[in-house]
Chain A
Amino acid sequence: MSVDPIEPTATLGDEFFKGVWRENPTFVQVLGMCPVLAVSNSARNALAMGLATTFVLVGSNAVVSALRRFIPNQVRITTYILIIATFVTVVDYVIQAISLDLYKALGAFIALIVVNCFILGRAEAFAAKNPVLPSIVDGLGMGAGFCWALLCIGGVREILGSGSLFGLPLFHAGFQGATLMLLPSGGFFTLAGWMLLLNALRQRRARRAAAAPLALVEGR
């Protein structure tokens, strides 16, 4: 019988926030870039893709974890892909039932969630080795991290490209948006901007953390 490798000191909260911040799939791991750059041309599309991916991630993590002792090592990748593809098909039907306009806006990228590398990555690296509850929390954390990253990029692109946010106009009627921001190249620029900002924040925090013990020693 295999031993679950989850660190005994890691709480469910740690597992959740790991995906949101420390190991954010978009800004830190830089995985699953295809939908990030292609679909984040508006906040609405970004949120819908983020939620769809989160649903697939949580579902596949839960099932892979529950069946981890039933799945032989030799056929694990095949079964993970089958499980992920099942949840993607379900989410595809659900989005069509909720809104055909949204389905049209997301285009081929719903089906492409099947091959989003960070979903298979979480199944292989985490869910296959951990119990169901931490795996669900891991999926929720990674999904939330993916969602807010997509929203950050989609929000900026929609504001600068269309002058609106979630379809609500923010500027005067004659506002001319920068079309570049709606194109995939705008996705690259926005992603680069966010990564620059977040890395600067991380470095500042690290410098402060390193300086804090010195300050205590020097009595400052």
Chain B
Amino acid sequence: MSDAAPPLPAPTSAWHMYRAMVGIGLVCGLLIVSAFVLTGPIISRNKAAALQRAILTVVPGAHTARTFQLGDGGRFQLVTRAARGAPLVYGAYDAAGHLVGVAVEAQGMGYQDVIRILYGYAPARDAIVGLAVLDLRDTPGLGDRVEHDAQFLRNFEQLDVRLDADGAALAHALAPVKPGAKHETWQIDTITGATVTSSAVAGMLRDSAAVWIPRIRRHLADFERQE
């Protein structure tokens, strides 16, 4: 039996490790940026088309939509290219060009990530008349039921958002309730088995409507007169 220790592998120099990591990082960066440059315009077009479809879905009877931005003094201004991060709302018009509703985006934390929704407000009916989910990353089969569950979506066919006497706030704040417990027109039935996500959607709708509905109602003429 030999006393000699087994030979140790040659040490790797720091330069080799640095070279490997930087080299691979550069190649990976090139691949990611190339993919982004190639697909970016297509993704933007897809998102714009999906948003347009969602607006026409949440405001029944709408044929066209225009984008408005909240400007200084709380007035709504028609925009063709919105400033980044500026809150946007969408005026929805029938075939004759008359305003039939306003679509508003809202977002909030769901079970796993931020959920983005779009809801339609019909001033003539004093009600929210439709809801679509724009972005949802909650569990497939559970959380995503907020997009398809017929009973949950019925909440948003005629959800009462009348204003109080001075028009500064909702007469009744929207209120999420347990499944089947809805007995008022401003309450929202949540979903058994998707409680967190459906409550999150109802909660973000309550918060958003409390801010936007009085504001839109006050300046409804901004949506009607701008061409």
Q: Per-residue CB proximity of A76-107 to B under 8 Å, as 1/0? A: 00110011011001100110110110001111
Q: Total contacts A to B, CB within 8 angstroms? A: 86
Q: Chain B interface mostly helix, strand, loop or mixed? A: helix
- Dominant SS among interface residues on chain A: helix
Is the beta-carbon distance between A74 and B50 smaller than 8 angstroms? no
Q: Are B36 and A182 in contact (CB under 8 A)?
A: no
- Given A71-B20, A183-B141, also A86-B32 (CB < 8 A): yes
In the complex, the answer to whether A83 meets B28 with C-beta atoms within 8 Å is yes
B21 touching A93, Cβ below 8 Å:
no
**Contacts A72-B12, A182-B141 given; does A79 touch B24 at CB 8 Å:** yes
CA distance A108 to B110 in the complex (A): 13
User: Which residues from B are CB-within-8-Å of A41?
Assistant: 140-141
Determine the residue in chain B with the shortest Cβ distance to A38.
B140
Known: A107-B136, A107-B140, A182-B141. A90 touches B12 (CB 8 A): no
Please report which residues of chain B, range 1-39, place their CB below 8 angstroms from some CB of chain A when the two chains form the complex.
Answer: 12, 16-17, 20-21, 23-25, 28, 31-32, 35-36, 38-39
Whether B21 lies near A96 (C-beta < 8 A) is: no
Contact check: which of B17, B42, B139, B140 meets A72 at CB < 8 Å?
B17
**29 chain-A/chain-B pairs, Cβ below 8 angstroms:** A38-B140, A39-B140, A41-B141, A70-B20, A72-B16, A72-B17, A75-B17, A78-B21, A79-B20, A79-B21, A86-B28, A89-B35, A90-B32, A93-B35, A93-B43, A96-B46, A97-B39, A97-B42, A97-B43, A97-B46, A100-B50, A104-B133, A105-B140, A182-B141, A183-B141, A184-B139, A184-B141, A184-B142, A186-B141
Contact residues of B with A, CB < 8 Å?
A: 12, 16-17, 20-21, 23-25, 28, 31-32, 35-36, 38-40, 42-43, 46-47, 50, 112-113, 133, 135-142, 144, 193
The 9 closest A-B pairs by CB, nearest first: A86-B28, A97-B39, A97-B42, A93-B39, A90-B35, A72-B12, A108-B137, A41-B141, A107-B137
